[in-house]
Amino acid sequence: MSSAVLGLPAPPFLDDSLSSTSNNSNTGGGGSPEDANRVQMKPSVNGYKWRLLISYDGTHYAGWQYQVSPPTIQCFLEKALIRATKMERKDLCLVGAGRTDAGVHALGQVAHFVTPFNYESLESIHAALNGLLPADIRVREISPAVPEFHARFSAEGKVYHYKIYNDAVMDPLQRHFAYHSACKLNAAVMRESARHFVGKHDFSAFANASQNDGVPNPVKNVFRFDVIEMGALLQLEVEGSGFLYRQVRNMVALLLQVGREALPPDIVPKILATRDRKELAKYALSVPPHGLCLVDVKYNRDLLRLPSDCPTGSFGSHHTISKCKLPFY
């Protein structure tokens, strides 16, 4: 058995070299359909790349991006990876798809890290990571990734949900995950107004200043913006090519004012046209972070193909009891 299979350091493969296996329609060569969807990778100085699918309750964290105090999601995940892989933080090169803000949750955050060695199976490290992480952070899936995959820069779209609990009395079980609006909201006019966000626009008027990204391109493409009623809960679902800093929360804030019938539905294109954040501030303040959740990150399917020399992904495993040792009474 090779040292790579044992989980020991093995010859790494090239990040910038990728040759696809022949995806012939003739299956007589002995390859299975799963093998046909794998890609063959060559040796690289950067080692093996692994993709993580992560969920977390962001209530007690200062967002995703690494900092020691107050703690962040990335900080806890890196500590768990350091213990599980016996590697240094700088060598793991952990990168997340979205740098969620303090108090924001995630159901489908994506990240990647690298190791100089391969794994025979990912179930053990998957279980180890979840055993080391606090209960409000969980790795839902770990899988090998092709060298070209990058959790942040390969993303082609993101889906966010913002929940509003619209009733006179707040449901205490929703208090960490939904914004409470005691004022009755008109979901129909909110839906009408949300349609004005769909399409490619300059969203400068809906972006807060960020020191991390320099001057990002303010033109973003919003694919859909749905307002869904679920009893007292209103779920605002927005999908787009990407979002500026606090853009989603600022769009929701304006829709709340429309839902309260304090503003007309066609206020959206008027504010978009100004490209001025100060113009939005005249009508709405940003909503709090706890109603927001990063639900999904979209990638080109070719970048999600499994490498041929790595194990299959791990989705977690159920514990089973083969024999009950307690007496029956």
Q: Token pair for residue 197?
A: 């966000």
In this structure, the answer to whether residues 292 and 160 fall within a common structural domain is yes
Which of 7-11, 147-151, 189-193, 264-268 is predicted least confidently? 7-11
- Between strands 157-165 and 233-240, the pairing is antiparallel
Residue 211 in any domain: the answer is yes
For the cut 80, the answer to whether the pLDDT of residue 263 exceeds it is yes
In this structure, the answer to whether residues 206 and 249 fall within a common structural domain is yes
Residue 3 in any domain: the answer is no
In this structure, the answer to whether residues 190 and 145 fall within a common structural domain is no
Q: pTM of this prediction?
A: 0.83
Which of 56-65, 185-194, 214-223 is predicted least confidently? 214-223
Residue 285 in any domain: the answer is yes
Residue 20 in any domain: the answer is no
How far apart, in whole angstroms, are the C-alpha atoms of residue 320 and residue 138?
A: 21
Residue 309 in any domain: the answer is no
In this structure, the answer to whether residues 144 and 232 fall within a common structural domain is no
pLDDT value at residue 318: 75
In this structure, the answer to whether residues 261 and 285 fall within a common structural domain is yes
Catalytic option among 57, 91, 101, 213: 101
**88 vs 13, residue with greater confidence:** 88
Residue 52 in any domain: the answer is yes
How far apart, in whole angstroms, are the C-alpha atoms of residue 256 and residue 277?
A: 17
Q: What percent of the chain has pLDDT over 90?
A: 76
Q: Number of folded domains in the chain?
A: 2
57 carries an active-site annotation: no
Q: Token pair for residue 250?
A: 């600022």
For the cut 50, the answer to whether the pLDDT of residue 228 exceeds it is yes
For the cut 60, the answer to whether the pLDDT of residue 31 exceeds it is no
Task: Give the distance from CA 17 to its chain's centroid.
Answer: 27
Query: Residue 290's pLDDT band (boundaries 50, 70, 90)?
Result: very high
Spatial contact of 184 and 166, defined as CB atoms under 8 Å apart? yes
What is the pLDDT of the chain when averaged over all its residues?
86
> Tokens 């869904």 appear where?
228
Residue 41 in any domain: the answer is no
What mean pLDDT do residues 270-288 have?
95
Q: Which residues have CB under 8 Å from 262's CB, separation 6+?
A: none
* φ, ψ (nearest 5 deg) of residue 160: -120, 145
Query: Residue 216's pLDDT band (boundaries 50, 70, 90)?
Result: confident
Residue 32 in any domain: the answer is no
For the cut 70, the answer to whether the pLDDT of residue 282 exceeds it is yes
How far apart, in whole angstroms, are the C-alpha atoms of residue 329 and residue 221?
A: 64
> Tokens 């040292």 appear where?
3
Angle at 210 between CA 73 and CA 53, to 5 degrees: 30
In this structure, the answer to whether residues 160 and 274 fall within a common structural domain is yes
* φ, ψ (nearest 5 deg) of residue 9: -55, 135
Task: Give me the domain span that covers residue 105.
Answer: 48-153
For the cut 90, the answer to whether the pLDDT of residue 19 exceeds it is no
In this structure, the answer to whether residues 169 and 90 fall within a common structural domain is no
Query: Residue 317's pLDDT band (boundaries 50, 70, 90)?
Result: confident
In this structure, the answer to whether residues 121 and 54 fall within a common structural domain is yes
In this structure, the answer to whether residues 136 and 188 fall within a common structural domain is no
Of 153, 184, 211, the one marking the end of a domain is 153
Domain CATH code at residue 287: 3.30.70.660
